[in-house]
Structure 1
């Protein structure tokens, strides 16, 4: 073990009690955080036979990985597929999307003994890590056991690159243990190479989020919702909202209803622990509000629906005319606009979208999205689309075309995985 990794490991062990305390603290809002703690230390049941392991941190990464997971289930039916997550919401998403077709547990902490216990019991033939999870001990443990490790949909913003560069020696050593870094675009490849990855380790495969498959069932369910709400009503979805954004959305919505009295708003908070607070905020606005989770009937008088049920984001987009994507009016970094684009729904976001710097600029250039500087800009753009059906339709079609033209990542990733599996066996 190098000096850098030794010091990192020592720090991880010293901090491990704080990791547990943090879980307990978060469990005040979500009790699931204090459940299955042993899994985070590698205490998991043995699989009984070698598996393929895919790690997706939370909900967004799990949904993005869905087309790849479905392909892996088809291509490698002889091996169990293990999907790990870090958060309870990610865990719930795995169970909802895949049920008993995959194995699931929490991702272990980056501690040598936890990893050794986990790898011995799970016997992975290959590890696919979604996006950017650079864990020195995990990478080293996989290299020592000759387990190929691939970063899929790998991304590194300029800000993240500068942050990792502060630990240049440790990061360079860690990346050397990766078998392949499959990036979203050439800029991401350049950033990984700036951190020490070798050119032969890096391959541009595109963004897997473009490979989302739109189910005809969801499309039909969206139509049914529209008929329940009133087929002539326009629907605005405010997706993945964060604290500080809901108040803005409600003010904008109140102004929009002055011109569009039948307008319906669907608010979907990003985090489940905010469901109650957002529902109260909406109810206090004085407009008729219904919570999806209560099963209460929608009526023509319903003005606001709080989407407080997990796993229905695609359904809301299927029923939407326009969408606001949250985490962008506050300095969070934005969320994925491609799910809306897949349904031909034009998108407006705030300017804080650096987490999707590879998507928003070309999507905006194509005419499928607009970045609003502030509350005034958000109102102006939504009003324009709601009052001009032709412009709304044109923007929605531009978003859908952009989405369809960039679908290619899963084929590239499967080809890379096949190569790694063949090489490791041979």
Structure 2
């Protein structure tokens, strides 16, 4: 069933969930949809869907922004059956656009046809680059904003402790908090907001405002000075807008083991200073 319809510039886009990768469900869904082209993203390699679309419907398939983690690479390479399965799946793609040379090598190692795979820029990064707002570093604005983005459990405390130490250093240097940088906390999972609020309270950080929706964010973006020392984002989908007015971003899920990182290309494209922890997982490749 169609879950949603998005109308943009005269186009109607039917939004559906990809069904569970079983023969009966996938064949009924694909026969009903009658696609003319299949585009798979990153590591969404569903053997039954890929095989049926390629062999039975004979439609061209493309894998874009292709990536394969070390963990997945080892799992697919662990035995003869899985190696044969992934090689068969990859052989169905007419073209594979890998995120990096390292990713390209991993797909070739798993059996992808070297003639059909090449490295291409990330579509996500290209889209963000087109929407990027230029920063005026010589602006007279007195607002300095730093963001702790996509933080995970335990990282907010590290950030807030650093914020308190920075606050103390600032006060000792300038004797007041005039123009003191404002912190935006944006947990990766908004469901953890209550926990973060409790943490703020326990650390006696009470000058806090909250961003819950688009109206809150737009009002925040137009401020020339911050009325609160700390802002807590309690919804998803607003980081790109917030990066546009920030000077410095700390990317979460990188400060504590095991971590794994998050995409730091987005704040970099907004010309923010980006700080990372040591636990980046496969995002280490972006540093290259």
> TM-score scaled by structure 1?
0.56
1:253 aligned onto 2:163: yes
Which of 168, 187, 199 is the aligned partner of 1:281?
A: 199
Q: Which position in structure 2 is the counterpart of 1:110?
A: 21
Q: How many residues align?
A: 265
Q: Which position in structure 2 is the counterpart of 1:291?
A: 210
1:356 aligned onto 2:283: yes
Matches within 5 A, 1:151-170: 151-166=63-78, 167-170=82-85
1:328 aligned onto 2:254: yes
Q: Which position in structure 2 is the counterpart of 1:136?
A: 47
Shift of 1:112: 1.1
Shift of 1:132: 1.0
Counterpart contact for 2:128–2:266, Cα < 8 Å: no
Q: Which position in structure 2 is the counterpart of 1:148?
A: 60
Higher strand share: 2
Counterpart contact for 1:212–1:339, Cα < 8 Å: no
What is the CA–CA distance in structure 2 between the aligned matches of 1:133 and 1:315, rounded to whole Å?
Answer: 28
Matches within 5 A, 1:67-106: 101-106=12-17
1:198-221: per-residue Cα shift (whole Å, max 9, x none)? 2122122233333134577x849x
Which of 229, 237, 241 is the aligned partner of 2:147?
A: 237
What is the CA–CA distance in structure 2 between the aligned matches of 1:137 and 1:245, rounded to whole Å?
Answer: 40
Counterpart contact for 1:124–1:147, Cα < 8 Å: yes
What is the CA–CA distance in structure 2 between the aligned matches of 1:356 and 1:184, rounded to whole Å?
Answer: 11
What is the CA–CA distance in structure 2 between the aligned matches of 1:157 and 1:175, rounded to whole Å?
Answer: 16
Higher helix share: 1
Counterpart contact for 2:101–2:119, Cα < 8 Å: yes
1:335-371: per-residue Cα shift (whole Å, max 9, x none)? 11111111110101111112212212x3xxxxxxxxx
Counterpart contact for 2:144–2:181, Cα < 8 Å: yes
1:177 aligned onto 2:103: no
1:208 aligned onto 2:126: no
Counterpart contact for 1:185–1:207, Cα < 8 Å: no
Unaligned segments of structure 1, at least 5 residues: 1-43, 46-83, 85-90, 363-426
Shift of 1:266: 0.3
Distance 1:181 1:319, change over 3 A: same
Distance 1:334 1:190, change over 3 A: same
Q: Which position in structure 1 is the counterpart of 2:230?
A: 304
Shift of 1:271: 1.7
What is the CA–CA distance in structure 2 between the aligned matches of 1:158 and 1:126, rounded to whole Å?
Answer: 29
Distance 1:236 1:157, change over 3 A: same
* Partner-residue secondary structure (3-state), 2:185: strand
* Partner-residue secondary structure (3-state), 1:239: strand
Unaligned segments of structure 2, at least 5 residues: 171-176
Q: Which position in structure 1 is the counterpart of 2:34?
A: 123
Q: Which position in structure 2 is the counterpart of 1:338?
A: 265
